[in-house]
Amino acid sequence: MWLLALAGMAGVPAGTLVLLVLDASPLWLLIGIVVTTAAVAMMLGFRKALHHELAASVPIGFVSGVLGASTGLAGPPVIFFYTNQGLDPREVRANIVAHFVMMDVVTLPSFIIAGLFTDKTVLLSVQLLPATLAGVVVGIVLNRWVRQALFRRIALVLMVIAGTVAAVSGIAGL
């Protein structure tokens, strides 16, 4: 998890640059197609356990950092990685939370330096905070009752939804 998170932190500045330089629509479309395809493949039973998790965690973490800073979709590479490896859902959740917190430590200053925070974005973040905290509480409560098979299905369905939304957003912006 540490190597994955450190690689994610290293990817944040590159993702911030992508956000500043590239048009978002083609990027959203590409991400949507890749995420949806990978999630559907895993739903259909495709799975290839990676035997060298440490080596695989570096590019996966880096891509997560780039995607997180450029599109806000840091989760799919990490979720696919952990789900593919068959980890316990509680371990997956804990690792994902730690990964995001560590990346946020780099994302916040990166966005401030790039001038991406405006009064409008800060206000919107404050307005969304109660819903975010409510979601965290609901997730913690539900965590006690969700079995691994159900967790995997929920995660993959959410990835299909996120991928589809990303692709539609990309098409709408073209």
Joined together, the tokens standing for residue 126 give 């404050």
| pLDDT reported for residue 107 | 94
| pLDDT reported for residue 120 | 92
> Residue type for 92, please?
V
Cα 120 from Cα 53, distance rounded (Å): 41
Using CA atoms, how far residue 171 sits from 26, 27, 71, in Å, is 8, 10, 15
Span 107-154, pLDDT tens digits? 999 999 999 988 898 899 999 999 999 988 887 777 777 777 787 788
| pLDDT reported for residue 128 | 95
Domain segments of the chain as ranges = 2-173
Cα 95 from Cα 5, distance rounded (Å): 9
Taking all residues of the chain, what is their mean pLDDT, rounded to a whole number?
88
DSSP for 3-62, please give it.
HHHHHHHHHHHHHHHHHHHS-HHHHHHHHHHHHHHHHHHHHTT-----S-HHHHHHHHHH
Tell me the average confidence (pLDDT) per consecutive run of 10 residues in the chain, 174 residues long.
93 94 87 90 84 92 93 84 80 86 93 91 93 87 76 84 92 88
